[in-house]
Amino acid sequence: MTSPDSKTGVAAPAAPPVHPATPGSGAVLGIESSCDETGVALFHPQRGLLAHALHSQAQMHAEYGGVVPELASRDHIRRLLPLVRQVLADAGATPAHIAAVAYTEGPGLAGALLVGAGLAHGFAFALGVPVIGVHHLEGHLLSPLLSARPPEFPFVALLVSGGHTQLMRVDGVGRYALLGETVDDAAGEAFDKTAQVLGLGYPGGPALAAFAQSGIAGRFSLPRPKMASDDLEFSFSGLKTAVVTTLRKNAVDAQGRADLAAEFQQSVVDVLVSKSLRAVEASGWKRLVVAGGVGANQRLRDCLGRAAAGRGVDLYFPEQRFCTDNGAMIALAGALRLKAAGHAGAFGVRPRWDLGTLAAA
């Protein structure tokens, strides 16, 4: 029942029902909707990941050559509730098992984020449980903790996604210090743009990686931007331009395009490997974690694996399925934050949000 507010005349919402589950003792529902993937998961602090489901909008955006924000928002609206039902069914759970709802508060596309925020807040209010706004990059950073062999804190993290390329010092949940980042394009963005130049369509990263398998790196020579510099900065925008220039100056056949793709991939991988190991050496720690969509790249995994082993560095990747955007990492980050502090988030999204401003848990 609602009663009109005496001052405004607007019906005030009834108090939410009291929920039997206490924070930290039940499952956390995680909702990811920052870009073109709708992800939902149920994570239990003691029992681990109970279920997760994902819908990729890649096919829908493919004909436009990139993400169309309005279409992304509308599709999140269509997908979210069925995915929540699916996850609850897969976990053998009911809404009564949910102790908190975590959602990606930012950064990301404003409209897409609002869809997840709306559902999370509405759901949490109806259940009478806390709602937790999660930083998308914190989700990526903590995603290796979902693995059978999780890293211990502290570690150095290479965060390589479509929007970010950063080296971070991670001392604990919420204790992140930026060591270096890209001055222009992110690694994933470079993959996407170069894939487009090579006519491989969208999404570019996986398509380019697959295409590069039939090519040979070294037949064309591309730069290794900033690899020799002492800092921990990256720059990938010139690499795409170098690919464009190579295509313009040479008669490149299909095999040549594959060779160029392989050289491009190797260039990005060489730079990422070199800078990551430099950051690990500077930190004095022997643990390196790679997270974000580009972490799914097999060439990066192989090259970094060899280089890390040669220097006695322990290397951790999230499982392949949790490298790109997903609800599991949001549910996990929500659970870790909930454990640390009883949370009651205000409704909102943060399309732009600096990870460095997060408080420690």
Residues in contact with ligand KG4 by CB under 6 A are: 35, 140, 161-163, 188-189, 191-192, 203-206, 209, 292-294, 296-297, 324-325
Instruction: Say if residue 206 is preceded by a cis peptide, omega within 30 of 0.
Output: no
Among Zn ion, ligand KG4, none, what binds residue 26 when CB lies within 5 to 8 Å by partner kind? Answer: none
Nearer to Zn ion, 137 or 261 (CB): 137
What does each C-alpha distance from 108 to 34, 326, 333 come to in angstroms? Answer: 5, 14, 17
Among ligand KG4, Zn ion, none, what binds residue 130 when CB lies within 5 to 8 Å by partner kind? Answer: none
Q: Does residue 71 sit in helix, strand or coil? A: helix
What minimum distance in Å lies between the beta carbon of 273 and Zn ion?
A: 21
Nearer to Zn ion, 44 or 136 (CB): 136
CA angle 177, 350, 289 (to 5 degrees): 35
Structure-token pair, residue 271: 């730079």
What minimum distance in Å lies between the beta carbon of 160 and Zn ion?
A: 10
Among Zn ion, ligand KG4, none, what binds residue 109 when CB lies within 5 to 8 Å by partner kind? Answer: none
What minimum distance in Å lies between the beta carbon of 292 and Zn ion?
A: 6
Nearer to ligand KG4, 129 or 209 (CB): 209
Nearer to ligand KG4, 246 or 297 (CB): 297
Instruction: Say if residue 203 is preceded by a cis peptide, omega within 30 of 0.
Output: yes
Nearer to Zn ion, 79 or 136 (CB): 136
What minimum distance in Å lies between the beta carbon of 184 and ligand KG4?
A: 15
Per this entry, what is the length of the chain? 361
What minimum distance in Å lies between the beta carbon of 20 and ligand KG4?
A: 36
Among ligand KG4, Zn ion, none, what binds residue 203 when CB lies within 5 to 8 Å by partner kind? Answer: ligand KG4
Nearer to ligand KG4, 194 or 246 (CB): 194
Write the CB contacts of 292 (distance below 8 Å, at least 6 apart in sequence): 140, 159, 160, 161, 164, 188, 323
Among ligand KG4, Zn ion, none, what binds residue 205 when CB lies within 5 to 8 Å by partner kind? Answer: ligand KG4
Residues in contact with Zn ion by CB under 5 A are: 161, 325
The answer to whether the CB of 16 falls within 8 A of the CB of 125 is yes
Strand boundaries in the chain, DSSP class E: 3-4, 11-12, 27-32, 37-44, 48-56, 98-106, 131-135, 155-160, 165-172, 175-181, 287-291, 314-316
Q: Look-up: residue for tokens 């290397």?
A: 315
What minimum distance in Å lies between the beta carbon of 95 and ligand KG4?
A: 28
Torsion angle in degrees (nearest 10) through CA of 277, 321, 151, 98: 140
